[in-house]
Amino acid sequence: MELEFIPVEDFYFALTLAVRTLEDLDKPGLVEQVRSRLLVECGQPSTIAPGKQNTFNYVFRVHYVDNSPASGLFVSISDWNNKLRLSSDYGWTLDQERKPIRTDKYSQRSQFTQQLRSHFHHWLQVPLC
């Protein structure tokens, strides 16, 4: 798995309607640890939404993970109500009317979530596993 950061200038072009929550992690101090590490590694978040519920969202294009029949794969890591939220379009694609539909990979979302958590754990050196 390789992640390519999507900066705020390019976020609109990477926007996909199929991104759905994988899981919310509720560990004391985790949001602040991840926020500070992502700021060092990537700089400004992909989207800026200062507020009480959501203050950062980093979006990444994922390489070397099969998400067929979808042509690409995206993940986001953000805060939501003081929890760390992992989201992705893994197992989803858009139909002809641009409505999200499940694919055969949908049943593998929990395995993908574990792979993603492990990747962020090693890359950011934060306790996600």
Q: Residue 10: its pLDDT value, please?
A: 76
- pLDDT bracket for residue 8 (50, 70, 90): confident
Q: Residue 12: its pLDDT value, please?
A: 64
Question: pLDDT averaged over the chain?
Answer: 90
Q: Residue 49: its pLDDT value, please?
A: 63
Task: Report d(CA 12, CA 22) in Å as an integer.
Answer: 21
Task: Report d(CA 47, CA 33) in Å as an integer.
Answer: 19
- Coil, strand, or helix at residue 59? strand
Positive/negative CA dihedral, 86, 80, 122, 13: positive
Token pair listed for 106: 């949908």
Q: Residue 116: its pLDDT value, please?
A: 96
Alpha carbon distances (Å) from 113 to 22, 88, 103, 106:
6, 9, 16, 11
Mean pLDDT for 11-24 is 80
> Is pLDDT above 90 for 117?
yes
Token pair listed for 48: 């800026």
Residue-wise pLDDT for 20-70, tens only, equals 999 999 999 999 999 999 999 999 998 866 667 788 999 999 999 999 998
Phi–psi pair at 77, nearest 5 degrees: -130, 125
> Is pLDDT above 90 for 92?
yes
Q: Residue 26: its pLDDT value, please?
A: 94
